[in-house]
Amino acid sequence: MEYDIAEILDVRETAPFLRMMQEIFEERIGTQRFFRITATPVDLGQTSADLENPALLALLMDPPNPHGRPVGWSTKPLPPLKRTSTGFENERVDYHHLKFIMNGHLEFWTAINGYFCWQQDPTDMKEHPRLYPYAVVEHPLSFVRLYRALADLLDIRGEITFQMQYLNVHGAILLPYTPESIGFIMPMEPVKPLQRNRLVFPAKRFAEGFDPDRTALEIVKDLYYEFGYNREHIPFFDQAGQSIL
């Protein structure tokens, strides 16, 4: 379904706005396997970003990387990130797609393919895509860190709603711990393929001064819990909820 630009920018309530964005997203990806995460101010009427501000485009193009990882599963968009009538968006849909709307909404998409299922045999991936822990953790982590910086830049006040989802993923598998660990290489318990096709997790609200690493951990927990794991199976976070990535 196609929405008018005015319709998108006039919505003031988070729930109908997220449904609108969901419809636009699903229409574009069809039956392909995809990861998506969004961030939206609870008060959508508060923010109207200055799209001419060079600091805004610079931040979107180069998300925070506090530990200086030279490569990884970040939310750095595939250039060019182009100006639109509502904000910024790049054309490539299947790899590091970023969309920013001037009302403060941000979303990131990427296909669940050989990049997301790193080092998996292509034949196995067709039936049971293996969600690679670095992709599973680092994409949400990078996204939330980016939004923390974006909220500061735009002086967004009030709560923020984050929502994560995996679509068209029936049969997907997720192994516990880090890929370098014995628990990942030789799991103690049988790894059960996902029976759902859609994992659209509940939207989560976080306070204005949210800590990005702890927030990302709360978001990632939903995926691991869906696969039957506990907090100790989630890699790359310490006991305080801070990440090494």
User: Is the distance from CB of 25 to CB of 36 less than 8 angstroms?
Assistant: yes
* 217 domain residue, yes or no: yes
3-state SS, residue 127: helix
More confident residue, 72 or 205: 205
* 83 domain residue, yes or no: yes
* 139 domain residue, yes or no: yes
Domain residue limits at 31:
5-233
* 171 domain residue, yes or no: yes
pLDDT confidence of 197, banded at 50, 70, 90? very high
3-state SS, residue 110: strand
The residue type of 116 is F
- Residue 5: is its pLDDT beyond 80? yes
Mean pLDDT of all residues in 215-239: 97
* 121 domain residue, yes or no: yes
User: Is the distance from CB of 25 to CB of 198 less than 8 angstroms?
Assistant: no
pLDDT value for 139: 98
Return the half-sphere exposure (C-beta side, CA atoms, 13 A cut-off) of residue 146.
31
Distance CA(90)–CA(105), nearest Å, equals 15
Closest listed residue to residue 196, CA positions, set 168, 174, 175, 219: 168
Domain count, the chain: 1
Distance CA(137)–CA(142), nearest Å, equals 9
* 242 domain residue, yes or no: no
- Residue 2: is its pLDDT beyond 90? no
For 36-63, b where at least 16 C-beta lie within 10 A, e where not — what string? bbbbbbbbbeebebeeeeeebeebbeeb
More confident residue, 139 or 189: 139
* 201 domain residue, yes or no: yes
pLDDT tens profile 15-43:
999 999 999 999 999 999 999 999 999 99
Length of the chain counted residue by residue: 245
pLDDT value for 106: 98
User: In sequence order, what DSSP letters do the residues of 27-40 get, joined into one string?
Assistant: HHHTTS-EEEEEEE
pLDDT tens profile 42-60:
999 888 999 999 999 999 9
* 245 domain residue, yes or no: no
3-state SS, residue 130: strand
User: Is the distance from CB of 10 to CB of 115 less than 8 angstroms?
Assistant: no
- Residue 124: C-alpha distances to residues 115, 129, 182, 187 (Å): 14, 7, 21, 18
85 CB-near residues (< 8 Å, 6+ apart): 5
